[in-house]
Amino acid sequence: MDNLSVKEPLIYRRILLTIDEDDSESNTRAFRFAITLAHDYDATLGIVSILENEDINIFDSLTPTKINEKRIDLKNAVDNYVKMAEENGLKKVEPLVYEGGDIDDAILERVIPDFKPDLIVTGADTQMPHSKISGTIGPRLAKRAPVSVIVVR
């Protein structure tokens, strides 16, 4: 092992926080960890939520009006987290709202290529609304993402 390179600090510079609509305990803790790390290492923080609209009507019988309400709720949730991050002294915070398709694929195929995070922070209970795949997204991202993933509890 190369002792020199192995002892170099490993610092994340672009942190992607996934949130859902619920202010669950793990969501809140994920947010706290993300802003702590972004603050202390001067990283850029992206805060993302995803509205899966592909099969939304089938699964929840939502009318267009209700879908739009969901969209606005999600946008507001992201904006609220961005605002709190900025109030906490962060200068580089980006709201990211995506729509459509499968949640995992949206993150893997669109959000990651767009935002280029080196770390994804997700709450252990984070579940995107109306996801076709049951369960939380963290462990799945931990398995499939090409970058580091922390599941916060």
| Positions in the binding site for a copy of itself (CB under 8 A) | 1, 3, 5-11, 23, 28-29, 31-33, 35-36, 39-40, 80, 84, 87-88, 124, 138-140, 142-143, 145-153
CB closer to a copy of itself, 32 vs 132: 32
CB closer to a copy of itself, 57 vs 88: 88
Minimum distance of a copy of itself from residue 56's CB (angstroms): 25
**How many C-alpha atoms does 64 have within 13 Å on its Cβ side?**
0
CB closer to a copy of itself, 2 vs 65: 2
Asked if 144 contacts 42 with a C-beta cutoff of 8 angstroms, the reply is no
Q: 104-137 burial, b for 16+ CB within 10 Å, e for fewer?
A: bebbbebbbeebebebbbbbbbbbbbbbeeeebb
Asked if 39 contacts 12 with a C-beta cutoff of 8 angstroms, the reply is no
